[in-house]
Structures are given as structure tokens and as C-alpha cells.
Structure 1
Amino acid sequence: MVNDNLAHQIAETPECEIVIDKAPVKWCTVSLSEIIERGKRLEASVYDVEAKQAREIIADAKYPLTTLGGADGMTTSYTGARFKRIWVEKSDYPIYQPSTIMDIKPSPDGYISAVTDTDIDALRVSKGQVLMTCSGTIGKVSFVSDTIDNLIFSHDLLRINCKKPSDAGYVYAYLKSKVGNKILLTNSYGAVITHIEPEHLATVPIPDAPDALKLKIGNLVIQSYTLRDESNTLIDEATKLLIEELKLPAIDNFEVDCFKKDAPVETFNVKLSEMNYRLDASYHLPIVDAIVDHIKKYAAEVTSIRDKRISSAVILPGRFKRVYVEEGHGYALFGGKQIHTLDPSGKKYLSKSKHDERISKELLIEENTTLITRSGTIGKVALVPKHWANWIASEHIIRVVPASQDVAGYNYIFLLSDYGRVLIQRYTYGAVVDEIDNGHVSDIPIPLLKNHDVQKRINDLALEANKKRYEAYKLEQKALKIMDEEVIYAK
């Protein structure tokens, strides 16, 4: 009977070899009181190992701990009161969403009426504040510099004021660090926080470094944001030059050829010869023809993006199944939602070995290439700065590789403008998810200016702005490195 035992037979079968994965595992100790506090749950997912380790790291660090908020903490913070928004087409009150705080130059989500039942001025952010998303995707952090000073943001954004204004850059760098951000997003037991309230900051520990070290880190952050402001000023100057040279009116002031001007909806005629096999009305909007006709009148020539004087290639990578790896073992990957940020690299890294051929031919991006989002939100435009070179933009982003550095910045400025955005978005198709493709982008009209010196100036301003963004990135990374080496991990 014993010889017939199945367990005994399996144990003696030499072909059954157990291979133990020697890869490191995440682990931590959990006290009985913590288990009871978490409802006697024994699943590892209830206890964020990395968060507990992060708290242990700063507890063992060189400097004593204080708290981020609370009566004795370094900051005070608040959110706005909830209110019902009254949207209007245009007003003196553009409002911005919390998700845009990471953008180098945010765009408003819309406009609210002056009669909206809330204290609109209380929603404005102030220079020197640290901002944090507190719902949805929480824990994203930004710093208020000249670009967004006094702008109106929605209520669900945490405004953090430092009791000592000179600490603002230091607090920002701590919350941007991997350790600081991980602690922020979890409570003392490692459970993930789903919404951050001002009082939550009273439970977030932060090393109380010497004032000189805080100032050293803070100054780097402020310098980084100053360079971002300067880059935005250069972009605005280049756009203004383009508008002046082409004598372009505001996008809302174009005279368009409507079929019936007093109709409750926009109506217009389209010739059969101009249909281009497109039956969707958005493709034939009169504003498109108005813009093209106008730039033909004032430009030396109107060509298209596919012109070899403008681009050497317009690349749309094919779809593929992604193989992700850990940080440090692959290429940083980012998507269309992130292209307006200074540092779009997230927590995703593509395997070099699995995607080597596709990466080299389609996915790697080069400095001063213009990126255009092709699905979802169509027509977001970015110019690749130096630190993005050899990163990977997803297949949802079209690459316009410039014919030379003499037109790289000019291409970007025109496509970034209100007029370029209209010409991009007119190609949009799709019933559920909007799309455009590289053929559409290749067909986008682009003017060549009569005054070559002005075109060169526009190009140079854009490239100079891109260099400043690269320098801004380096300064922020330096601040984060000092925060790690001299504060968080210092012994």
C-alpha cells in the first residue's frame, strides 16, 4: 500500500526538478499591532514594503525629523472650497486643472463666469508655493514660478506654503524624491492613501537639515524654474514674430465663409472636388481654408511638412506588445500625456533585447525632433530637448524629424501655434478614439517666410528655449541628487 502512494512516487521521480528563482524579493517585518490595525489582514499587498522601508531610511538618516505639516511642521496647506462651475466660451477667468501643474507651460481647461458662486481669487496660486495633486493621480508636485503665478486652479489642488519661504525649494525636492514621495502616498502602516487632505501632511516626516543645506537645494530648484520661465518667454517671443510676419489675426477673429451666417449652427458649402474622400464635417471647417488662404497671401511660399526642406522623415511607429523591465535595465518610455512636462520619464522601461530593432528604427527620439500626439488628445506638440535624446516616445506619438537644425525650431513654433493646431486637428478621424497618422501630418501646410532673417530668428529662439529646458532639467536633477546623498541617505 505504501508503494502505491502517489506522493511517494512523485518524490522518487528524478525528472521532477524544482528550480528556485534567486531574484531578490521585497520583504519587511510587520508587528502584531500593525496586523490588528489593518483588520487582521495577512496579504502582503496591505503593507507597502517600499513605504515602510522609506520611513526606516529617513529614521536612520543623519538629521532629526520634523513633520511636513501640523502645528510644529514646516508648512501650512489648504485646498479650495468645492463649487459648481459656470462655464463660458471666454472670460477673464481661465481655469487650470491640477493635472497640468507638471506642464512647463500649462494651458487652461476652459473659462468660468464671473458670477460663479465661489471666491475665485482664493483659487489663485502664488509664487513660491508648492503645489500637489491630491485626488485622482495624487502626489504630483510642482513649484509656482512666474509662469503660473496668480493663475486660477480648481479646488482639488493642495497649495503648500512654507512657514519659512526659503524652505520652499527644499520641501519641493523632498516631495519629488523617490523616498519622500513614497512616504507621502502612504500612511504609517504602509497603506496607500487614495486622497490627500491638508491634515495628512502632519503625519509625513521630513529631515530637518541645516539651513545652509536647505538653501543649497532650494536655490537649485528656483534656478531650474527660472530657466523654465525664460524658455517660455522665448517661445512667446518666437510665436509673436511668426504672427507679426504673417499678419495673422487672433484665431477667433478670422473671417470664415459660412453658407448662412445667421443659422443656429455653423453651415458651409464644400465642392465635390474638395471632398478628398472625407465626409466628416470637421475636416472641411471653413477656418482651415481661411488660415491657409491667409498665410498664402503673406508668406513667400506655402509648402507641406513632407517637403524635404522641412522634414527628413515623418515617423509613426507600429503597434507592438511591450516587454517591461526594471529601472536601469531598459529604455525610459513616456506617452502623449507627458510630452509637455520637463521630465516625462515615468516608471516604465522597455526591454532593450526584446525591442532592439524596433527601438533603433522607430522608437528612439532625437534632439530637436518635433513630437505630435496622434490619438486621444490630438495635436499636443513638443520639441525634444537634449535630455530626452535616446529615450522612447510611445507609438501614440508621431515624430517630425527636421531636415536640418535651420528649420527644427521654426517647424515647432508653427505647429505649436493656435493656427498650427487647427491644421493638425482637421485631419482627426475616428468614432470613439480620435486618431491621425503620419500621412496626415505630412500633408499639413506650413509657410516659408518672405523675411529669411525673421524665420531664422524664430528658429533660433525656439532652439535657445529648448537649451534652457535642458539646463533646467540638469539643475533639478542636481537638487534631487543632493537631497538623496546629503539628506535622505546621509549617515
Structure 2
Amino acid sequence: MVDNSNLAYKFQEVEKEIDYTYLPEPLKYTSVSLTEVFNNKLRLEANSFNLEAKAAKEKILNNKYGVVKLWSDNGLVDKAFHRPRFKRIYVDRKEIPFYQPSSITDVYPKPSKYISAKTETDLESLKVKKGMLLMTVSGTIGKVAIAGKKLENQIFSHDLLRLTGKGKYDSGYIYCYFLSEAGQHILQSNNYGAVIKHIEPEHLQNIIIPNAPEILKKEIHELVIESYDLRDESNDLIDKAESILYEELQLKPIEELETTFFDSSVDLRNYSTKLSGLNLRLEASFHVPSTQAILKAINIHAKEVTKIGDKRIASDIILPGRFKRVYVEKHNGIPFFGGKQLLELNPSNIKYLSLDQHSKRIGEQLFLKENMTAVTCSGTIGKVNIIPKHWENWTLNQHVMRIVPANLDIAGYIFCWLNTEFGHRLITRHTYGSVVDEIDDRHLSQVEIPLLKNEKKQKEINDLVLQANELRYKAHLKEQEAIKKMETIINDTK
């Protein structure tokens, strides 16, 4: 007889709900002429003759403005390059911030690690300049961004394509082209690699683009730049809010907090904890001295330190259950994405959930509302974002929890605190799991949050974040307007 209360049995039940399989797509096939093979530099991979890319090229070739090769004598690209591989020397926060290519589409990019100034490579050549067009060329290829104020003179890894346009308005125009469906199909048909996909700068020589009049390029480029200026303005407001928070709590940089070890005479880090402080957690990571130092620091100058689960802070914390997903075509479903895209202004690789099949779950667990705070709870723990207006009624997967604020007077403040390094440490201390890291809604409800003695300053922090979130929505509208203009150019046939 099966014991239904057994944890292993319950885990088995949960596992059955997970859909690991995907139905294969219908077989696609086409004929390829020898001329096409030669024109494609003797490449024989099927992807080089992708049907969607073929249809996209036909559409581009038939547009009323004619075409040019992207990187050619009469093309739009002046320079396109990435850098050689190099051995990295990783260090603590006191040295050079180091960014990964995947962060270029984040609305508020942050460095993933720090490297030493002694790293043997040309660090200056790894820096990106404001206004430069950036593209991922390894792994997930074809993600594009314009370098804004946050990324100016920041160092990226070698495998990021840096591109500058010939004309004043070419960078924004090319950026918008690669955001279009046709542009992406054509770009993706140039990748190579059996396991990890790559493209090279010279592949841009093969890509065609509509040669629109300068006035249309100007309109598109200026909308793109306005969008990125709004993102910069939004990030400045978030920085200001965080600065006020640190000032009110008189917080030093997190690495400067004093930590006490049990026995400093040995090299091994060791520490003690009280039985009353175990909280039924026996992992050493839950009790590290730096966490206790954070809690001590925020208690000194806060009016009160409470928990996210306090009803004055959050009316609800939603952790969606696992479910078998039914995807549908774009115009027949609800936008659905995951934690990997959480920090992007306009999430990439969106899928669409069937409203018919998932209406109850969508309404109860999945719908997003403006100014909720979203926190990743599986895999990469503790990525935090505030839900912008254009994500309203979209859906996130079960790997992201939603904090429903008690009211608008606390919504921005919740995000500001959890988005700090201090908040992140208090979230990640709850991590469990031997293979895939996890936290759940009970853990998030126990994360500490300080309330300020100066209520006016707390309101100012809250309002700055909400204002920043509104600017993100405006940035989204500008970019969508630019994309629509590009789609009009692509679809405007002879």
C-alpha cells in the first residue's frame, strides 16, 4: 500500500506534471540550386537555406527602396568586430566591472563579475562606447542593443559584436532591422556550430537590408535613441532612490561590513550560531556571518525591520504551480515568458499560452499587474524587477514569484530594497537544492525589509521608482513605434 504522505511520493506526483517533451515540428524541405550554394560560400547546413529566411529575403528584395549588403562598399556598416579570447583573472568588487554579452538587453545592466587590471589583454579595446550597436554572437545569437549611459566605457567579454554605422542614423536603423522578424530570420540563417551557435562579423557582408531614404532612417534612429535616453533617465531615478535608501540607513558598501568568525587562527572560515537562530535550517550558507552583519546594520538606523510577508508590505506572494503548457499562435494566446527574460524591457523569445486551456490558472496565478515585484525562484535566484505597464496581463512562468504590494505607497520601495545587494543577499540566503537552486513563497515572505524613520524619504524612494517604471513604459512605446516604421519599410513592395 502506498503512503500518500511520503515526501518521495509527493515529489513523484509533482514530477509527472512537468512536460519535458515537445512535439516535433512538421518536416520542412526545399530545393537548393548550386548557384545558391556558391553564393552562400559553399555552406551546406540546412539552416543556411532556412525557409523563413528565404521568404524574408524575397520580401526584402521586393521592397520599394531597393537593398544593400549590410557591410559592403555601399552598405550601412562602418566597422564590425569582436575581440580575441583571453584568460580572465577574476577578483572581488574593488577592481574592474566585467559584463557578459547576455546583459546587453537588460534595462538596467549590471556586471556579472569583476576582473583584475593585471589581466593580460587590451582592456581598452574591450570597452564599448555610447551609441555603439551591440550584438550577441555566441550561444543565443542575434540579441541587439544600443549602448546607453550605463554601458559607456564598460568592459565586455570577447564574444560581443561591436558595430558602428557609416551614416549618422544608420546604427538605430540597423538595430531596428534586427528587431524585426525578417531581419532575425536572415541573421539566424548565417549561424554555424553543432553545439554552441556562432556568427562572425564577416557574415554581415551577406545580409541584405532595405535601403530606405535618409528621412526614414532618421525617424527610426531618433525614436530608438529617444527610447534609450528614457531608459537612462529611468536608471538615474532608480540610482537616486537607492542612494537615498543607503543614506537613510547609513549603509556602508556590503564588502566593508564587519564579520566575526569563531576561530580566526585557522584558514578555514568558521562560525557559530545560536540554537534559537537555526530556524530549522542546518545549511552553513543560511548562517554566514555576512548575513548577520547585514541584519545588524539595517537594524541600527531603521524605524523597524519587518518581513516581506507583513500584510503592510505585501497583500500576497504568488508562486505558480507547475503545469503542462499548451502553446498557440501569437494572435491566439497570452504572452508568456520566463526568468531568463525578466530584466529585459521587451522580453525576447516570447511564447503564447492558450487562454482556453489555462484561463483559470492564468487568472489566479500567472497574470501580471503593473508595479508588482517579480523575483526569480529557481536556477538563478533573486533576479528582481518591477512589472512595467506594458507587461500588464502578460504571464510569467512558475520559476518567478510575484509580490503583490499592499498599496502603491509601498510598491516602489519593495523593489528598491530587494534590488540592492543587501536585499539580494537576504533573498539568496534561503536557497536550497543540491542540483537546481530553489526558494519558495514561504522563504520570500521571511526576507527582511527595513522601514525608514523618515517617512517622507521612504515616500520619495517609492515615488522615484514608480516614476522610473513609467519611463520604461514610455521607452517601450518609442521602440515599438520605430519597429512599426521598419516593418512598413520591409512590407512596402514595389
TM-score (norm 2): 0.90
1:159–1:299 Cα change, 3 Å: same
Aligned counterpart for 1:65 among listed residues 37, 51, 67: 67
The aligned counterpart of 1:433 is: 436
Alignment deviations for residues 131-168 of structure 1 (CA, whole Å, 9 cap, x no partner): 00111111110101212111100111100011123211
1:322–1:279 Cα change, 3 Å: same
Three-state SS of the structure 2 residue aligned to 1:353 is: helix
Deviates more, 1:288-297 or 1:197-206: 288-297
Alignment deviations for residues 159-201 of structure 1 (CA, whole Å, 9 cap, x no partner): 001112321111111111111111111149xx99932111110
Aligned counterpart for 1:267 among listed residues 267, 270, 274: 270
Query: Do the aligned residues in 1 keep the contact of 2:302 with 2:452 (CA within 8 Å)?
Result: yes
Shift of 1:41: 12
Q: Aligned pair 1:240/2:250, yes or no?
A: no
Aligned counterpart for 1:52 among listed residues 54, 59, 75: 54
Aligned counterpart for 2:120 among listed residues 113, 117, 120: 117
The aligned counterpart of 2:182 is: 179
The aligned counterpart of 2:161 is: 158
AA paired with 1:105? Y
Query: Do the aligned residues in 1 keep the contact of 2:317 with 2:445 (CA within 8 Å)?
Result: yes
1:91 and 1:246 map into 2 onto residues whose CA distance is 22
Shift of 1:89: 2.0
Query: Do the aligned residues in 2 keep the contact of 1:128 with 1:145 (CA within 8 Å)?
Result: yes
AA paired with 2:344? T
Deviates more, 1:89-98 or 1:57-66: 89-98
Shift of 1:277: 1.5
Query: Do the aligned residues in 2 keep the contact of 1:145 with 1:226 (CA within 8 Å)?
Result: yes
1:345 and 1:198 map into 2 onto residues whose CA distance is 22
2:289 and 2:224 map into 1 onto residues whose CA distance is 46
2:126 and 2:44 map into 1 onto residues whose CA distance is 43
Aligned counterpart for 1:104 among listed residues 98, 104, 107: 107
The aligned counterpart of 1:251 is: 254
AA paired with 1:250? P
Shift of 1:337: 1.1
Aligned counterpart for 1:74 among listed residues 53, 72, 76: 76
1:274 and 1:453 map into 2 onto residues whose CA distance is 34
Alignment deviations for residues 447-489 of structure 1 (CA, whole Å, 9 cap, x no partner): 1111110000000000000000000001000000000013443
Query: Do the aligned residues in 2 keep the contact of 1:333 with 1:345 (CA within 8 Å)?
Result: no
Query: Do the aligned residues in 1 keep the contact of 2:129 with 2:147 (CA within 8 Å)?
Result: yes
1:175–1:127 Cα change, 3 Å: same
Shift of 1:418: 0.8
1:29–1:478 Cα change, 3 Å: farther
Three-state SS of the structure 2 residue aligned to 1:473 is: helix
Three-state SS of the structure 1 residue aligned to 2:402 is: strand
2:213 and 2:40 map into 1 onto residues whose CA distance is 37
Shift of 1:391: 0.6
2:203 and 2:364 map into 1 onto residues whose CA distance is 47
Q: Aligned pair 1:465/2:449, yes or no?
A: no
Report % sequence identity. 50
AA paired with 1:55? K
Shift of 1:35: 7.7
1:254 and 1:193 map into 2 onto residues whose CA distance is 41
1:92 and 1:40 map into 2 onto residues whose CA distance is 46
1:435–1:274 Cα change, 3 Å: same
Alignment deviations for residues 373-415 of structure 1 (CA, whole Å, 9 cap, x no partner): 0011110000000001111111000110000001000000001
Three-state SS of the structure 1 residue aligned to 2:95 is: coil
Shift of 1:346: 2.1
2:41 and 2:95 map into 1 onto residues whose CA distance is 51
Q: Aligned pair 1:139/2:131, yes or no?
A: no
Query: Do the aligned residues in 2 keep the contact of 1:28 with 1:52 (CA within 8 Å)?
Result: no
The aligned counterpart of 1:286 is: 289
Deviates more, 1:213-222 or 1:325-334: 325-334
Q: Aligned pair 1:322/2:317, yes or no?
A: no
Deviates more, 1:474-483 or 1:297-306: 297-306
2:195 and 2:263 map into 1 onto residues whose CA distance is 57
Shift of 1:258: 1.7
Query: Paired residues, what number?
Result: 468
Deviates more, 1:237-246 or 1:24-33: 24-33
1:112–1:465 Cα change, 3 Å: same
TM-score (norm 1): 0.90
Alignment deviations for residues 234-262 of structure 1 (CA, whole Å, 9 cap, x no partner): 00000000000011111011112221234
Q: Aligned pair 1:85/2:88, yes or no?
A: yes
2:111 and 2:43 map into 1 onto residues whose CA distance is 44
The aligned counterpart of 2:151 is: 148
Three-state SS of the structure 2 residue aligned to 1:328 is: helix
Deviates more, 1:87-96 or 1:478-487: 87-96
1:125–1:38 Cα change, 3 Å: closer
Three-state SS of the structure 2 residue aligned to 1:477 is: helix
Q: Aligned pair 1:312/2:315, yes or no?
A: yes
Alignment deviations for residues 22-48 of structure 1 (CA, whole Å, 9 cap, x no partner): xx9977664465589999999987741
Query: Do the aligned residues in 2 keep the contact of 1:57 with 1:489 (CA within 8 Å)?
Result: no
The aligned counterpart of 1:371 is: 374
Three-state SS of the structure 2 residue aligned to 1:277 is: coil
Unaligned stretches of 5+ residues in structure 1: 1-23
Aligned counterpart for 1:397 among listed residues 396, 400, 419: 400
CA-based RMSD of the aligned residues comes to 2.6
Q: Aligned pair 1:451/2:454, yes or no?
A: yes
Three-state SS of the structure 1 residue aligned to 2:468 is: helix
Larger Rg: 1 or 2? Answer: 1
Aligned counterpart for 2:358 among listed residues 348, 351, 355: 355
Query: Do the aligned residues in 1 keep the contact of 2:139 with 2:196 (CA within 8 Å)?
Result: no
Query: Do the aligned residues in 2 keep the contact of 1:332 with 1:345 (CA within 8 Å)?
Result: no
The aligned counterpart of 1:14 is: none
Deviates more, 1:102-111 or 1:39-48: 39-48
2:50 and 2:297 map into 1 onto residues whose CA distance is 59
1:323–1:247 Cα change, 3 Å: same
1:77–1:227 Cα change, 3 Å: same
AA paired with 1:72? N
Q: Aligned pair 1:94/2:97, yes or no?
A: yes
The aligned counterpart of 1:418 is: 421
1:36–1:149 Cα change, 3 Å: closer
Structure 1 runs of 4+ aligned residues shifted over 3 Å read 24-47, 191-194, 486-491
Shift of 1:272: 1.6
Query: Do the aligned residues in 1 keep the contact of 2:63 with 2:489 (CA within 8 Å)?
Result: no
AA paired with 1:98? P
Query: Do the aligned residues in 2 keep the contact of 1:185 with 1:193 (CA within 8 Å)?
Result: no
AA paired with 1:54? A
Shift of 1:298: 0.9
Alignment deviations for residues 15-69 of structure 1 (CA, whole Å, 9 cap, x no partner): xxxxxxxxx9977664465589999999987741110000000100011111111
1:288–1:360 Cα change, 3 Å: same
2:101 and 2:116 map into 1 onto residues whose CA distance is 19
